[in-house]
Structure formats: structure tokens, C-alpha cells
A and B are shown apart, each in its own frame.
Chain A
Amino acid sequence: NFMVTQPHSVSESPGKTVTISCTGSSGNIASKYVQWYQQRPGSAPTTVIYEDKQRPSGVSDRFSGSIDSSSNSASLTISGLKTEDEADYYCQSYDNNNHVVFGGGTKLTVL
């Protein structure tokens, strides 16, 4: 079954840029859309990137998404880090059976 893998945690200082990776287990991740969700402590998830690189209205342009076919991975990049960006981030794609697949989540610490 198709899976996506993320690092458990990343940390960076305010004002800096951080990138979170999401690697597909097989096939070509570029052939499926990848989404990214932010979940702050005690809150429901919200969508920050959909369809690889699209930003929902209201999401800061400090958030961007990309795909690297050579490494079969997707990335979420957050620039100009703020303390409010501290949260768990989940990537999501889907398998050939139309089942939604989530990564294990990455805890972002802004310190």
C-alpha cells in the first residue's frame, strides 16, 4: 500500500525558513496531488496547501508547496517563521484504491 513519510520533528528560529518533506513509498508522487494540513495544539486541522502548491484563500503566502519527482517527495516550505506557525503539519495524498493517506505528522518548533 502506498504510504507517505515525514520527519517526526523540525525546529527553526523566528524569521528563518523551514522545509518539511513528505516522501512517497512507491510510484511517482508527482502523479497524485499532495496536500498539507496545519494542526495547532487543541485545534482541528486546517488546510494550508492543496493540489501540491495551491494556497486556500486566507493562508499566508509564507506557505508554499512543491514536488520533486527525482526524490519522489513533496515539500512544505514556511518562510519568515513566526511563533504562531508552531504546530503539527501533516502531508496527505492517496493510493490507487482511492483511499486517503496521511503522513505521520511533523512537529514544528519555532524557538
Chain B
Amino acid sequence: EVQLLESGGGLVQPGGSLRLSCATSRFTFSSYGMNWVRQAPGKGLEWVSAISHSADSTYYTDSVKGRFTISRDNSKNTLYLQMNSLRAEDTAVYYCAKGINTQWLVIDYWGQGTLVTVSS
């Protein structure tokens, strides 16, 4: 069964930075697009960012553009999200989500999530 394991969450002050990782296994990581999706406490799902299988295309929701950077290391089967200039409104559980093919637009598997809390 596909496995997605997020890490790197925690408490950070406003303006600070965090780097999330998503370690994957049991599928050919380099063949699939990937997403980051977040969920603020008590709220719905919000798409954050996506990357194509080869990393030649990346996409961001407007609220994180210029602050967050998605990347992947296909040799390590790992997805990343570098988050800079963090704001209180970035507080959420962040999920790594796998696309069903080289793109990311249809999700078939989700990780368990990692909590990011932005607070002073």
C-alpha cells in the first residue's frame, strides 16, 4: 500500500520559516505529481501547492505565492514544502497528497498530516 509520511511541523513565530517533508514509499515516486493540502482548525480542505512528476511545473494558491516553495527529490522519494514569512493564518494541518498520474489534479492517496502552528 502507498505510504506518505509527513514531518517537519511544529510551533513557529510569525515571520519564521519551516520546511515540511513527505517521505514516500511503495510506489514509483518519480512517475507521479504531488500536492500539499492544508486544513486550518475546524475548517475545510485548502489546496496549497502542486508539482509535476519531473518538477518542471509548480503551482501555488495565491495566498502562499512568493512565500512557499514546493520541491521534490526523486532520488530520495521525498516531497518538500519550504514555508517562509509564516503568518497566523498559515496555521493548519498540512497533508501530502499523491496524484494518480504524472499530473496532480486527481488525488488518490493522502498522508496523515503534520501540524503547523504559527503563533508568538
Contact = CB atoms under 8 A, between A and B. Distances in A.
A101 B47 contact: yes
B109 A90 contact: no
Interface centre among A45, A98, A100 (most CB of B within 10 A): A100
B80 interface: no
B104 A100 contact: yes
A50 interface: yes
Contacts of B45: 37, 39, 45, 90, 92, 102, 105
Contacts of A44: 95, 110-113
B44 to A, nearest CB: 4
B83 to A, nearest CB: 18
Interface residues of A, number: 24
B106 A51 contact: yes
A97 interface: yes
Interface in B28-52: 35, 37, 44-47, 50
A61 B26 CA distance: 26
B105 interface: yes
A94 interface: yes
A55 to B, nearest CB: 11
B110 A94 contact: no
Contacts of A47: 107-110
Interface string A58-74: 00000000000000000
Interface in B72-120: 95, 100, 103-113
A14 interface: no
Given A102-B46, A102-B47, A105-B45, A97 B59 contact: yes
Nearest to A97: B59
Given A100-B104, A104-B44, A105-B45, A46 B50 contact: no
Interface string A77-111: 00000000000101010100111111111000000
Interface of B: 35, 37, 44-47, 50, 57, 59, 61, 95, 100, 103-113
- 4 nearest A-B pairs in the assembled complex, by CB-CB distance: A100-B47, A105-B44, A94-B105, A102-B45
